[in-house]
Homo-oligomer: A and B are copies of this chain.
Amino acid sequence: MPRITELDVIDLRFPTSREKDGSDAMNPDPDYSAAYVVLRTDAGDGLEGHGFTFTIGQGNEIVCAAIEALRHIVIDRDTAGLFGGMGAFYREVTSPNQMRWIGPEKGVVHLAAAAVLNAVWDLYAKVEGKPLWKLLADMTPEELVAVCDFRYVTDVLTPQEAVERLRARQAGKAEREREMREVGVPAYTTSAGWLGYDDEKIVALTREAIAGGWDHIKIKVGQDVEDDRRRLRVIRDEIGPDRKLMVDANQVWDVDEAIAYVEHLKEFDLWWVEEPTSPDDALGHAAVARAIAPIRVATGEQVQNRIIWKQLMQSDAIGFAQIDAGRLGGVNEAVLVMLLADKFGVPVCPHAGGVGLCELVQHLSILNYISITANLDDVVVEYIDHLHEHFLDPVVIRDGRYIAPRRPGYSAEIHADSLRRFRYPDGPEWAGEPAPALTVSGGE
């Protein structure tokens, strides 16, 4: 009986703040980082579970400390028992006695749980010799539902109803799987739209994106309405009237402010407005959605767990669900939220503005199509062109679509040399760096 014998936690940070890659109205200078977990077993097969959650630098060490606090739950577990009981394991990792108090299922402890859960799923998929999406797509409806925790959402979806809904989607699964392998799932790019770029860079990147076949472009807004209008005009002129243009405010507005601000951006024909306000404010998002219709509201990268997701959907607050593979409780909770989204008819367009999130969310979206929704209506998966060189199995984008990964695992594994170089604070890329200046996040 193979058992998990080692759990390594690595505080991994990439100095993206130097290039203003990833800058937006709330987060002016992020360092794309991962609280990264490696699991090893005594199976003798050389397989390791690699998983992580995403942060933007400071505080990554706190998430790593929280992962350490979960160590007892993972070490010495027999993998067969784990893999056969991922639903129960989710409960153990997200509701550990005493530690639940400092969540529950939110913030640091939930990010830590995500890293651990993602690593276990990576191992599980590798042991089965399948990419994660395939491992999940091959599950029966009962098996897939069993990995989910329905606590606190049974008022809108029960396990039994979820099983029935999945059964109804079985027809055509094989064709959809083939489609994902050959054609892939549609993507959109944010790489042109970071707030810190000047107009020249924006035009250049936009033309590059169009040449690369992208039909959806998203830009960051919220710091200055005239500046946003100017940038939107530049991009709308470049992309023409038919391509989709989205804006992302990274939570810098209050509800009334959001409604007023968006009024000034309407002429650019926006497909969605992302994160108009606090990720905790389901009712606030609903108010914005009612006011700015037919422009739709999108959110999700900081929506903490299935319970807030439930309320967003109950209140008709969102037109797009931007789940995050590191924010939710790992694969388990991501699947549950996709089941909810399907019930409420909300397309899932995962967030991937971070390191390695593209690698992870592609699996989730591919599973979503094959097993849960059976359609790609209004579905686009975020793509950013950063840091893929660090991954063993980086995403494959062809004609603006993610091609389904083939290698076993969750595509999470980073090259050992990158793990060594970007380890914080003592890896070669950081040693000798002064500590980053502490400033306040934006939106004052």
A-B interface, 10 closest residue pairs, ranked by CB to CB distance from nearest: A107-B107, A108-B108, A58-B98, A57-B98, A155-B255, A59-B99, A280-B307, A152-B278, A59-B102, A95-B441
Interface: A2 (CB within 8 A): no
| 0 or 1 for each of A257-288: is its CB under 8 Å from B? (1 = yes) | 10000000000000000000111111110010
Given contacts A73-B438, A97-B439, 18 further A-B contacts (CB under 8 A): A27-B98, A29-B97, A30-B98, A56-B101, A58-B98, A58-B99, A62-B102, A65-B65, A96-B441, A97-B441, A104-B302, A104-B441, A107-B107, A151-B254, A152-B254, A152-B255, A280-B307, A280-B308
| A151 CB contacts on chain B under 8 angstroms | 254, 278, 443
16 A-B contact pairs sorted by A residue (CB < 8 Å): A27-B100, A27-B101, A58-B69, A58-B99, A59-B69, A59-B102, A62-B62, A62-B65, A62-B108, A91-B444, A97-B438, A97-B440, A102-B111, A104-B302, A153-B254, A155-B284
A103 contacts B97, C-beta separation under 8 Å: no
Question: What band does the interface of chain A fall in when counting residues whose beta carbon is under 8 Å from B?
Answer: 35 or more
8 Å CB contact of A104 from B110, B279, B311, B439: B279
A283 contacts B98, C-beta separation under 8 Å: no
| A257 CB contacts on chain B under 8 angstroms | 154
| A66 CB contacts on chain B under 8 angstroms | 59, 62, 108
Interface: A140 (CB within 8 A): no
Interface: A305 (CB within 8 A): yes
Distance in angstroms between the alpha carbons of A31 and B251 in the assembled complex: 37
Which residue among A277, A278, A308 has the maximum number of chain B CB atoms within 10 Å of its CB? A278
Interface: A55 (CB within 8 A): yes
| A interface residues, Cβ below 8 angstroms from B | 26-31, 55-63, 65-66, 69, 72-73, 91-92, 95-111, 151-155, 251, 254-257, 277-284, 287, 302, 304-305, 307-308, 310-311, 314-315, 435-436, 438-441, 443-444
Distance in angstroms between the alpha carbons of A60 and B310 in the assembled complex: 30
B314 contacts A101, C-beta separation under 8 Å: no
| A255 CB contacts on chain B under 8 angstroms | 152, 154-155
Distance in angstroms between the alpha carbons of A316 and B95 in the assembled complex: 29
A152 contacts B284, C-beta separation under 8 Å: yes
For the complex formed, measure the closest distance between the CB of A50 and the CB atoms of chain B, giving whole angstroms.
21
Distance in angstroms between the alpha carbons of A4 and B110 in the assembled complex: 33
8 Å CB contact of A256 from B73, B155, B436, B444: B155
Across the two chains, which residue of chain B brings its CB closest to A153? B254
| A100 CB contacts on chain B under 8 angstroms | 26-27, 441
Across the two chains, which residue of chain B brings its CB closest to A66? B62
Which residue among A100, A254, A256, A302 has the maximum number of chain B CB atoms within 10 Å of its CB? A100
| A277 CB contacts on chain B under 8 angstroms | 152
A96 contacts B440, C-beta separation under 8 Å: yes
| A307 CB contacts on chain B under 8 angstroms | 278, 280-281, 284
Distance in angstroms between the alpha carbons of A363 and B308 in the assembled complex: 32
A283 contacts B284, C-beta separation under 8 Å: no
Distance in angstroms between the alpha carbons of A56 and B96 in the assembled complex: 12
Distance in angstroms between the alpha carbons of A65 and B64 in the assembled complex: 11
| A278 CB contacts on chain B under 8 angstroms | 104, 151-152, 307
Across the two chains, which residue of chain B brings its CB closest to A280? B307
| A104 CB contacts on chain B under 8 angstroms | 251, 278-279, 302, 441
8 Å CB contact of A440 from B27, B29, B92: B92
Distance in angstroms between the alpha carbons of A60 and B279 in the assembled complex: 26
A440 contacts B107, C-beta separation under 8 Å: no
B65 contacts A98, C-beta separation under 8 Å: no
A97 contacts B58, C-beta separation under 8 Å: yes
A107 contacts B102, C-beta separation under 8 Å: yes
Which residue among A99, A154, A280, A305 has the maximum number of chain B CB atoms within 10 Å of its CB? A280
A315 contacts B283, C-beta separation under 8 Å: yes
| A102 CB contacts on chain B under 8 angstroms | 55, 59-60, 62-63, 107-108, 111
